[in-house]
A = this chain, B = another copy of it.
Amino acid sequence: MSTPRILVVGGSAAGPKAAARAKRLNQDAQVTLIQKAPELSMASCGYPYYVSGHFDNRNALLCTPTGVVRNPAFFAGAKGVEAVVETEVTAIDRAAKTVWCKHLPSGETSVRPYDKLILCTGASPRVPPIPGRELRGVTTLHAMRDADYLRTVRDEGKAKRAVIVGGGLIGVEACEALREAGLDVTVVELLPQVLMFLDWEMARHVENHMRAKGAAVMLNNGVAEFLGQDGALTGVRLNDGTHLPCDVAVVAIGVAPNVALARDAGLEIGVTGGIAVSEHMQTSDPDIYAAGDCVEVLQRITGKKTLAPYGDLANLEGRVAGENCVLGNVARFPGTIHSGICKAFDFTAGSVGLSERRAKEEGFSVVTAINASPDKPGFMGAKLLISKMVADAATGRILGFQCLGPGDASRQLAAMSMAVSHGATVADVCMADMPYAPPFSLAIDHFIATAHILENKMRGLLDGLSSVEVQAMLNNGSRPFLLDARSPEEFEEMRLGQGETLIPLGQLRKRLDDLPQDKAAPIVAYCKISMRGYEAQRVLNHLGWTNVKVMEGGLMAWPFAREK
């Protein structure tokens, strides 16, 4: 092999991976990694857990699994890669195949030649031009310095109130972190829900849980102004005029790819605003690759380009870019299905593929099912999971899966991530052979049960309504007969309180007189998780009632207020 000079711009996730992979595959290569920040290979997804005090050793964010800090000496010794920190690449001269660098502490500039260039310039948090955003106390949670700042806020213990601007993934994680750090926290979200990767009624469960953990969640509202005194934040004024006093505000309304360097060099920028790359992670200049949060990639379900700024994909993309720039275009990145997961206090919430809302926006005709059931047998310490499966009505292909709750959603989402990636249908998942033992799952794993419900719906065996549809019926005056099929003991413990009639499933066949005598009257049957609601529907359909629906997921998936 020749001795190519490979320059990698960006030292967070994609960059170090690309650099290390390139060097491993061509030991002759001179690989240089240029990083703007003082740190390298930061585990930035771990910042919230450092801020919260879940762990105290800052170096843990910068270490290998064996505890070695990934500094320039480490990169030189262990990886054979020259790492240059606190240095910004300010311009690319594609004709000369050089980049202009600026050493930030000294201001000195230099020019470095390359044979292959890999851009891993990442993304920057969006901060809208809200008045007061320069005040002390207004921050993001994106860079190591942000984590350091918020950790100091925690350790000093002076700040009492925080506002999180944005209820996305980082916003929810920041909410937990600062709540755990002892602050009163309010999340302010412009949209009608948190965690937009979830459908509305699923996100609502997360909001309820956040409130149960003492966080305030304000939806359909935004920050109009940061208010301050002597240069320090004292509060925020919301769009609706509300004034919230606070000492800290974390702006977490998403990120935008850093493409200025690429754009200024004349590289193609994609429709989504990310750097356009091929499946080989090659830009419009064959000698320049790009990877990580700065690029747009293929959405495997829609076939469209998308931004997918996730730490795991950055690593995979960096691996492909690093390999291809030394071996030619042999490796390919197949794209994303937008798998995501987050911890929100005692809840896990995640999604793979498309939500119902997104699938409809993409023009799919969808069928969906909601399932609320435990993650494992009761005798093994079952915890609740609520999931929603979205499939293409025409083909049965699963388009997406959401799962949340205190239970082990990680296993469910991991399995469904692979299923969705491989184009699995509802029928496939109905008969999935999963590793089963009571410490890990139910005999019929939670997501398989969700597929069973969806298959029953698709075949007309189960006629389901979501909680949102039932709520809409109650609101619009078309009052259905609500049939609660549980036991009297369960009814005393918890109930909707919407005028429902309790008829335990075991008594249903004997208490037909208690049902509407008009066989076409709308009936909504449910129970705790609506297994008994489904049984009730099958019985009543057989006995001639023609308009019986099952409220999917039952009371456990009901996201609105209950009587008790």
Chain B residues closer than 8 Å to A416, beta-carbon distance: 418
Chain B residues closer than 8 Å to A73, beta-carbon distance: 506
* CB-nearest residue of chain B to A534: B24
For the complex, is A104 an interface residue (Cβ under 8 Å from B)? Answer: no
Q: Are B340 and A435 in contact (CB under 8 A)?
A: yes
Q: Residue-by-residue, is A289-332 near B (CB-CB < 8 Å gives 1, otherwise 0)? A: 00000000000100000000011111110011000000000001
Chain B residues closer than 8 Å to A467, beta-carbon distance: none
Q: Are B339 and A436 in contact (CB under 8 A)?
A: yes
Q: Are B13 and A440 in contact (CB under 8 A)?
A: no
Q: Are B379 and A55 in contact (CB under 8 A)?
A: yes
Q: Are A435 and B352 in contact (CB under 8 A)?
A: yes
Chain B residues closer than 8 Å to A316, beta-carbon distance: 430-431, 433, 444, 448
Q: With A433-B336, A438-B43, A440-B341 as given contacts, are A66 and B24 in contact (CB-CB < 8 Å)? A: no
Q: Are A315 and B443 in contact (CB under 8 A)?
A: yes
Q: What distance in Å separates the Cβ of A308 from its nearest Cβ neighbour in chain B?
A: 8
Q: With A13-B443, A80-B539, A311-B443 as given contacts, are A435 and B414 in contact (CB-CB < 8 Å)? A: yes
Q: With A49-B380, A379-B43 as given contacts, are A410 and B60 in contact (CB-CB < 8 Å)? A: no
Interface centre among A63, A428, A433 (most CB of B within 10 A): A433
For the complex, is A378 an interface residue (Cβ under 8 Å from B)? Answer: yes
Chain B residues closer than 8 Å to A66, beta-carbon distance: 486-487, 490, 527-528
Distance A412 CA – B410 CA, assembled complex (angstroms): 10
Q: With A60-B378, A80-B539 as given contacts, are A437 and B505 in contact (CB-CB < 8 Å)? A: no
Q: Are B57 and A379 in contact (CB under 8 A)?
A: yes
Chain B residues closer than 8 Å to A534, beta-carbon distance: 24
Q: What distance in Å separates the Cβ of A222 from its nearest Cβ neighbour in chain B?
A: 26
Chain B residues closer than 8 Å to A408, beta-carbon distance: 410
For the complex, is A5 an interface residue (Cβ under 8 Å from B)? Answer: no
Chain B residues closer than 8 Å to A448, beta-carbon distance: 316
Q: Are A379 and B348 in contact (CB under 8 A)?
A: no
Q: Which of A95-103, A154-162, A419-427 contacts B (4 or more CB under 8 A)?
A: A419-427
For the complex, is A111 an interface residue (Cβ under 8 Å from B)? Answer: no
Q: Are B315 and A438 in contact (CB under 8 A)?
A: no
Q: Residue-by-residue, is A22-51 near B (CB-CB < 8 Å gives 1, otherwise 0)? A: 001101100000000000000101100110
For the complex, is A224 an interface residue (Cβ under 8 Å from B)? Answer: no
Q: How many residues of A contact B (CB 8 A)?
A: 114
For the complex, is A333 an interface residue (Cβ under 8 Å from B)? Answer: yes
Q: What distance in Å separates the Cβ of A63 from its nearest Cβ neighbour in chain B?
A: 7
Q: Are B348 and A27 in contact (CB under 8 A)?
A: no
* CB-nearest residue of chain B to A452: B319
Chain B residues closer than 8 Å to A452, beta-carbon distance: 319
For the complex, is A441 an interface residue (Cβ under 8 Å from B)? Answer: yes
For the complex, is A287 an interface residue (Cβ under 8 Å from B)? Answer: no
Q: Residue-by-residue, is A520-564 near B (CB-CB < 8 Å gives 1, otherwise 0)? A: 000000011100101100110111000000000000000000000
For the complex, is A350 an interface residue (Cβ under 8 Å from B)? Answer: yes
Q: With A27-B538, A431-B316, A435-B410 as given contacts, are A377 and B528 in contact (CB-CB < 8 Å)? A: no
Query: Could you list 15 further interchain pairs (A-B, Cβ under 8 angstroms) beyond the known A55-B380, A67-B378, A300-B433?
Result: A27-B541, A28-B542, A45-B438, A46-B438, A66-B487, A73-B506, A78-B535, A319-B452, A332-B431, A334-B431, A339-B433, A341-B435, A341-B440, A343-B437, A352-B435
